[in-house]
Structure 1
């Protein structure tokens, strides 16, 4: 991101494992548990809390989520923590992770995953909960849980098949093998692959473009797509119609149409 007219809100004092700064209506959230940023109960809770806070901030329109360092986005859940848990405790951790991923998925604002390295297990589940995914050419992806005698528990079996279809999903889930960024692109797991040195700037460029869009219409788009994907077609069309009506009722709709007629750039205000 550029430093011109930079207004940064540093939220890191509140969190042990997350870094966050805000500039030009874009929040960059970095998971910081070097060297490979594994997810544990504390990280899940912090993600839920921070994402909820960003949801309620008027100076944030789009969120970019990434991992610290060059080695990993998130290299899975913290196996050391899991190894010490009994089944009932694991269920509690699973519920905590589910809350974090669902919070991100259902956030009214777009979330872009900037996948800078390994996205394994829970890390891939985290990326799948985001709206868009941009990967470094060095990134690698896998659901290796089968090799540990378990299965994904953070939505991997459900979100993956909705993106790539059952055949490819089962291949990744059953074999637990690593795939490259290019393979992830071919299978539509990620939207774009870029050189490692350009990853964050590309993600922020996308975020900047989205931050300039009419925020209510963008929120209605996300709601229509997410909610419609889990119902039958007729119900989905009803959801779309309701969201369309909400967007049409805004001042931004009037401004957008007027600007189109007058052949000028619209000035959206989020109202």
Structure 2
């Protein structure tokens, strides 16, 4: 019998067809990112990274919010900062480990998909920005409320948003303190696709299943190459492409696949 006095975990995980599904599970708190949430998320992320059978990670949420951001009432193991340098260090080392976890999400050489079905703000949006793919339901919306308090989003909110959407739209969300609905987010480049609310969860899973069919070696190399190319000029970017392919094209799976592809083309000639 389940003990009704034990609260449900802040994050649920399940494995399905090579996909690790991580579901934010504090609907009564609008999925505010607590210390428990982030600790469970980091454990799931490491298991995803270290388990060859897991090809894709899907991040989603239960309830009427995807996430209201960091849990400002959740407490911290670090003392309250009283100087500017302590605040900077708290951003880097505190905040339930967000900096460390979000950086690791970018470094893991497997795709991470975020399925956003509702409001996604503050630290929740920073979590989404750290994923490789962002899918939005039609009813989703995005914003950084930090401007209302006279501060900036500082767990990658400025840096990753600017890199993904450019300074033009970063000004709109951060300086203008505007929210973006799903359609505006698509125009901004903040999300990759907008899908109907009905069937959204199934559509997100279908996209993840599609990704599991890709070569893991190609996916990891692509993730690194794209990140590097985004920081380099075109000539150095082409060197990155060549370096990546110099390893990929020696992979037996590639050699077998290209032979099948050529044979298939020949049969159609």
Give the TM-score normalised by structure 1. Answer: 0.85
CA distance in 2, matches of 1:159, 1:183: 18
Structure 2: runs of 5+ lacking an equivalent? 1-7
Aligned pairs for 1:57-206 (under 5 A) are 57-69=51-63, 71-81=64-74, 86-87=80-81, 88=86, 90-91=90-91, 92-94=93-95, 96-206=97-207
CA distance in 1, matches of 2:137, 2:68: 15
The answer as to whether partners of 1:101 and 1:129 remain within 8 angstroms in 2 is: yes
CA distance in 1, matches of 2:79, 2:241: 43
CA distance in 2, matches of 1:78, 1:253: 46
CA distance in 2, matches of 1:222, 1:76: 26
Q: SS at 1:43's partner residue?
A: helix
CA distance in 2, matches of 1:237, 1:63: 29
Q: CA RMSD in A?
A: 2.1
The answer as to whether partners of 1:62 and 1:211 remain within 8 angstroms in 2 is: yes
CA distance in 2, matches of 1:234, 1:82: 48
Rate the CA distance shift 1:45–1:227 in 2: closer, same or farther, 3 A: farther
Partner of 1:18: 11
Rate the CA distance shift 1:143–1:82 in 2: closer, same or farther, 3 A: farther
CA distance in 2, matches of 1:82, 1:173: 26
CA distance in 2, matches of 1:144, 1:175: 10
Q: In terms of Rg, which structure is larger?
A: 2
CA apart distance, 1:261:
1.6
CA distance in 2, matches of 1:155, 1:82: 21
